[in-house]
């Protein structure tokens, strides 16, 4: 990694520091609310989930789409960067921005499930899979932002990815070997869990690799 790439990644972290702090604070507030009881858990879970999803969408939109629209990417032409260098730096910078709050909020959510006596530890595999899916969700949105110039198409992608979260949450509970163990006092880390987790990680890696294979080959910067 070149010094200029590290500087661009640091720039992303500095630019979106308040967004990251606000998203993390909102997610943690949702988890605190979730610890207050059944009603609080339902509301707090929605707040936590919304905070993670919204943070990923805003990073992709502000970090790529808004810069493209405002023509603020033109300053990159004065830097010794190729389109591939810029795409790589933008991808790593925004991914780092998301991973920091995502890691904190995911760890806090898993800790809440493990710590609260009123929540079955059998939900831990489900929670891990959901956190991994939220990372995949962001990766797909970021991949789309780096490839798609149309605002309408980008809006459609965001709608589809947001819908996919609800479909995933409903579908995982119906997978044999996963759903029937969710309310058990001990987590069951069976083969269906590992296969699904591996599929999520593979899809995430693919989504993060596509910009380096296609968007980085453009002759202009995004």
Task: Pick the closest to residue 43 from 52, 33, 53 (CA basis).
Answer: 33
Integer Cα distance of 72 and 189 in angstroms: 47
Task: Pick the closest to residue 143 from 211, 55, 218, 53 (CA basis).
Answer: 211
Q: What is the DSSP string of 105-164?
A: HHHHHHHHHHH-TTS-GGGHHHHHHHHHHHHHHHHHHHHHHHH---HHHHHHHHHHHHHH
Structure tokens at 48: 């936590």
Q: What is the DSSP string of 45-61?
A: HHHHHHHHHHHHHHHHI
Instruction: List Cβ neighbours of 58 (8 Å cut-off, separation of 6 or more).
Output: 19, 23
Between the CA of residue 25 and those of 30, 108, 139, what are the distances in Å? 9, 12, 22
Residue 98 belongs to what H/E stretch? helix 83-115
CB atoms within 10 A of CB 183: 11
Domain boundaries, given as residue ranges, for the chain: 3-217
Q: What is the pLDDT of residue 117?
A: 85
- Strand, coil or helix: 213: helix
Give the helix, strand, coil percentages of the chain, each rounded to 5.
Answer: 80, 0, 20
Give the pLDDT of the chain (222 residues) as one tens digit per residue.
677 777 878 888 988 999 999 999 999 999 999 988 888 889 999 999 999 999 999 998 888 876 666 555 555 556 666 777 788 888 999 999 999 999 999 999 999 999 888 888 889 999 999 999 999 999 999 999 888 878 889 899 999 999 999 999 999 888 888 888 888 889 989 899 999 999 999 999 999 999 888 765 665 555
CB 147 within 8 A of CB 214: yes
Integer Cα distance of 192 and 57 in angstroms: 29
- Strand, coil or helix: 16: coil
Q: Look at the pTM and tell me if it is higher than 0.85.
A: yes
């Amino acid at each position: 990694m070149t010094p200029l790439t590290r500087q661009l990644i640091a720039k992303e972290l500095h630019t979106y520091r308040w967004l990251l702090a606000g998203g993390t604070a909102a997610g943690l507030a949702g988890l605190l609310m979730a610890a207050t009881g059944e009603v609080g858990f339902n509301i707090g879970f929605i707040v936590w989930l919304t905070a993670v999803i919204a943070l990923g969408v805003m990073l992709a939109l502000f970090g790529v789409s808004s810069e493209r629209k405002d023509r603020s990417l033109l300053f990159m032409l004065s830097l010794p960067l190729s389109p591939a260098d810029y795409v790589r730096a933008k991808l790593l910078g925004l991914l780092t921005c998301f991973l920091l709050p995502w890691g904190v909020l995911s760890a806090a959510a898993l800790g809440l499930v493990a710590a609260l006596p009123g929540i079955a530890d059998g939900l831990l595999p489900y929670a891990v899979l959901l956190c991994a899916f939220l990372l995949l969700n962001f990766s797909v949105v970021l991949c789309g932002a780096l490839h798609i110039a149309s605002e309408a198409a980008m809006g459609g992608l965001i709608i589809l990815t947001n819908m996919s979260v609800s479909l995933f949450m409903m579908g995982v509970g119906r997978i044999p070997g996963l759903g029937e163990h969710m309310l058990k006092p001990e987590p069951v880390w069976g083969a269906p869990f590992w296969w699904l987790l591996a599929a999520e990680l593979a899809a995430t890696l693919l989504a993060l690799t596509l910009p380096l294979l296609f968007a980085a080959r453009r002759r202009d910067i995004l």
